[in-house]
Structures are given as structure tokens and as C-alpha cells.
Copies of this chain bind each other. A is one copy, B any other.
Amino acid sequence: MQTYNAPLRDMRFVLHELFADDEFGGLEKFEEFTPDLLDAVLEEAARVARDVLLPLNASGDEEGCVLENGVVRTPKGFKQAYDTFREGGWASLASDPEWGGQGLPETVNKLVEEMICASNLSFSLYPGLTHGATTAIEGHAAEDLKRAYLPKMVSGEWSGTMCLTEAHCGTDLGLLRTKAVPQEDGSYKVTGSKIFISAGDHDLTDNVIHLVLARLPDAPAGVKGISLFLVPKYLPKDDGTIGPRNNVAVAGIEHKMGLKASATCQIAFDDSIGWLVGQPNKGLAAMFTMMNTERVSVGIQGLGINEIAYQSAVAYAKERLQGRALGGAKQPELSADPIIVHPDVRRMLMTMRVYAEGCRALGQWASRALDAEKHSKDPEVRARATDFVALMTPVVKALFTDLASEAANLAVQTYGGHGYIREHGVEQFVRDARITQIYEGTNGIQALDLVGRKMAANMGRAMRPFFHAVSALCEDLTKSQDPQISAFAGALMQNFGALQLTTATIARKAMKDPEEAGAAASEYLRMLGLVGMGYTFLKAAQIAKARLGEGSGDADFYTTKLATAAFFFDRILPQATTLFLTIKTGKASMMALPAEAF
């Protein structure tokens, strides 16, 4: 059965303890939010996730979305859950108070996102896309558009979408064909067909606000001729209420592998009325504001699935009786031992758990930079935070979602044959997780973004906050008196050294041949992500030792944290060695065959 209780203790750990010495500093802006208040928010969110969203996760998958008479109907219960969600203020947690948001830090918001995604990934798309769209509008739209749309979107009364993809263009947006023709009143008429539009239409909100990439009549070819338009489903009247229907039609909804309760629409714009957001021909930059926000959120989606997969597998492993412990019966009074006694089951559970804890910690590190980037008063801190966010965005997106799919598959494997049966609900995690590796830029594209842009730009400046932090911690803790801590630090140091060497090699090779960067990209992203996770586990272990030394009343938590750290250093970090070896071989054998030989 799908089992989920938000891991509040670990969330409080990453929020309050793990980065207490944060390089991005305390932010004045958030001083009003006391730890107790933030904990209360997390607890309340956990309740919503468990009681409101989780009960609709499997039924939503079973029922799916339906297109009827041109309108999308979400599964039973979704509208009511969305109303509860919206009325509780969850749609606007991190939004700017200027537009009615609650202005909470991303450090907390991302933990709440994790809970929403864990308990109901399909549901999370509706507020998730809206949040992304408001970010783009806030960052780029004219004041009157902001005033007309942001309050309703921030409150969750209206929702948002991002309309990029067309049938013949996804990754390569330069190919897009949707047109926008300026009208005399300053509006535009937008015409074209978009596909894969998440939350493209549904019955949860009164209006759907599409952000649409299109070309102006005189636009240059390629990505330099793309502009962004705001195209509402219903045109608002001056008093903010819903006016006439715009010419925006749902041409179809996709039948997908998973994420079935999220409506993925084909949207047909036909002389649809819209307004320019940002500058003409600068639409991609505006859209990337949204895209980058979404990419981090997609990583958090992965983390959520990872956690629910882990918890669901644990529940089964404790309950399913089968076989005996290899060293002799553990519970002879039962017909068989619970399968959690078996090393191979432990291997799967520990892997899922360590992935989730590592991603949660790494995500928190990135979230602190998201907040600092926006709110720090120190321009140097802001600049460093911006660099760190730029580096971590593709890592969070790709690493977390790759690990999520691994974890979801491990959960199915823990269930054995029962995992393959739909009613148990774990195979849904595999199907739902699968899209997170693809949308908002495939993980291969994330990897290229990392090695081709983030690593290369400004002489590798974006790498520095990360490299400095890891290097400083390793240097400090290899000298630790505690043999376990110094061993962890030594292992991390060694792999970090390999990462630095690899970074330099790729940079050098790529200068002569960009395909060398492409050939290294996916493995490099994973390698960097592993070192990043190692950094958080080393930090966590150090804190755990200190707390245990102080005689903390929460010894179980810290002892367990040390055990997960040990598993990470024993069984997960060594993945980096293979990555190091494979990257070293370069592009030759990858690119040797002519296309015809395939």
C-alpha cells in the first residue's frame, strides 16, 4: 500500500541543523519566521499531504483525466482537494506578499513541495505550474498584466501553464512555429498548436492562464526570434471577474505511462488574444525564469517519489513474512521472518533511504541559495548564491529524478510479484517518476547544461562555491580525531579529487572538441551529484557525532543518521569510481559508428 508520513524529523534536521553555519548567511527578511512557526507549517503541510492528497493518489491514477465536450475533468475528489489546498494558503506559500503570497523562504517551501509531490505527484502539477507562471509574470510582465493576473494566480483561484513544446520541437525551441500578430490595441493574436501542456485545462480553477512561446511576424529565425505571450482561457473583465471565452481549445489529452491525474493537453490557439510578456524576441529568457524554477521543482518531485517509495517498501518489508534470516530465524514465533531481515532487502531499503536523505539535504542547500539570491543584502552573497543556483539547477533536476526512478523500481522489487499488481500502488511510483527524468528538459539536456554552460561560463565561476565548500569541509574533517569522520572525509576527499581532475580534463578536451563535453555530460553530472551528497552526509555525520557527544535526547535520530552516512560512503559514493573511469575514455568509442551502422 502507498504509505506516507512526511519525514518531519529529517526535514527539521536539514532546515535547522545541517546548514546552521550556512555560507549564504541568515536573511533579515525571514527573521519574523521563528523555527517554531516553520515547524508548525511543516506539520500542518504533513497533515494535508497525508489526509487530503494521499487518499486521491491511487484513485486519481486509476481514473485519470477525461476530455469531455472540450473540457478536461480531473478525477473524483481533486476539485475538493484543490479547494482545501487553496483555502489553506498552500498555493502561495513562497509567493511575494505584494501579490497576496505568504513570503515564506524557499527552504521551507521546498520541503512542503516534497510532501505534496510525495503524496500526489499528479496533483502537484496544478499549483506547481501556476507557481512557475507567476514567477515569469512577476519577473518580466508589464505592471498592468501583473496587477490583472498575479493576485488571482497567487491565491490559486486561477492557474497557469507553460506552452513551449510543439509536435516537431521540444528541446530545440528554435524550430517553433506558433505565430503572434500585433493588434492595434496593443494585444496580439496568437495562432499555433502546442502539445504536452501540463495542467493545460482542468476543472480546478475558474481560469487558466497560458504563457505561450510564439514568433512575431518580423522575428528572426531560431531561438532569437521567440517572444512570450500571456493568453488566458477567459479574458478578464476590468473588475477582475471572468469575461468572454478566448479562442483557446483543448485539441486532446495525452494517454501517458503515468501521471494520469495530471491533464497533459494539446492546446490549439487560433487568433487567440494575448499580451506580450517582456521584450519582443526575448521570450526564451523570460521563459527560462519559469523553466529554472520548474527544474528545481522537478528535482523535488523526484525526491518526493523517492520518499514515498521508500516508506511504502519499508511498510511491506516489515509486514511480509517470507523465509528465514540467513543466520537463523529472527522471529521463530511467526510462520516466517519479515523480509526486512534479508540483506538484499536491506540493500534496497537503505539505498532508497540514503538517496532520499541525500537529495533532501542537497535540495536544502540549493534552497538556501535560492533565498539568498533573492533576499540577501550582501551583493557578494547574492552573486555567489546565483552561481550556486545556476550550478545546482541541472544537478537537482537530473540527479534527484534519476535516483527517484531507481528508488521507485527498488520499491517494486521489494514487493516482488505484488509490486507489479496495480492495486498495491507501488508500480504507480515507477510510472509517475519516469516523466520527471524527461520534462522541463531531459536529464541529458540538464547534463549538457552543466558541462556546456555552467562549467564553461566565466572560467568556471559557477563551480566555485560548490568546490570551495567541499574542499574546506574535507580538509577540515580528514584531520578529525574521530576515526569514522576522518574516514568519511578521506573517502569524500578522494572522490572530490577525482571530480576536480575530471572537471579539468573535460574543460581541456571540450575546448578542442565540444563533443567531448557531450560524451562526458551525463556521467559527470552524476559524479558531481554524488560528491555533493557526500558533502551533506559528511556534514550530517559530523553534527550527529557532536549531538551524540553532548548526550542529545534524540540519540536514535543521530545514530540512524550516522548509519545512513556509513551506507552512503560504503555503497553509494563508490559509484563515482566507475563514472571517473568511463568519462576518462572520452568520446571515441561512443561516436565511432556511422549512423547507418545502427
Which A residues contact B (CB, under 8 angstroms)? 165, 168-172, 174-175, 196, 254-258, 314, 317-318, 321-323, 325-327, 335-336, 338, 340-350, 353, 405, 409, 412-413, 416-417, 419-423, 427, 430-431, 434-435, 437-439, 442-444, 447-448, 452, 513-515, 517-519, 521-522, 556, 559-560, 563, 566-567, 569-571, 574-575, 577-578, 581-582, 585, 587-593, 595, 597-598
Contact = CB atoms under 8 A, between A and B. Distances in A.
B566 A571 contact: no
A578 B574 contact: yes
A592 B561 CA distance: 11
B346 A171 contact: no
Each complex incorporates copies of this chain amounting to: 2
B519 A556 contact: no
Contacts of A419: 438
Given A175-B336, A413-B442, A597-B556, A257 B570 contact: no
A165 B447 CA distance: 44
22 contacts: A171-B322, A172-B321, A174-B336, A256-B422, A256-B427, A257-B431, A317-B598, A326-B518, A344-B447, A344-B522, A346-B519, A347-B519, A347-B590, A413-B444, A427-B434, A560-B597, A563-B592, A563-B593, A567-B592, A570-B585, A570-B588, A574-B582
Nearest to A520: B343
Contact of A582 (B322, B556, B571): B571
B427 A439 contact: no
Contact of A347 (B318, B420, B435, B522): B522
A598 B349 contact: yes
Contacts of A165: 417
A574 B580 CA distance: 9
Contacts of A417: 165, 170, 196, 435, 438-439
Nearest to A341: B595
A200 to B, nearest CB: 14
Nearest to A435: B420
A224 to B, nearest CB: 15
Contact of A322 (B169, B569, B588): B169
A170 B415 CA distance: 11
Nearest to A565: B589
B422 A342 contact: no
A519 B256 CA distance: 37
Given A175-B322, A338-B595, 19 more contacts: A169-B322, A171-B322, A171-B416, A255-B421, A256-B427, A257-B412, A257-B422, A326-B518, A343-B518, A345-B444, A348-B444, A413-B437, A560-B593, A567-B589, A570-B582, A571-B582, A574-B578, A574-B581, A577-B578
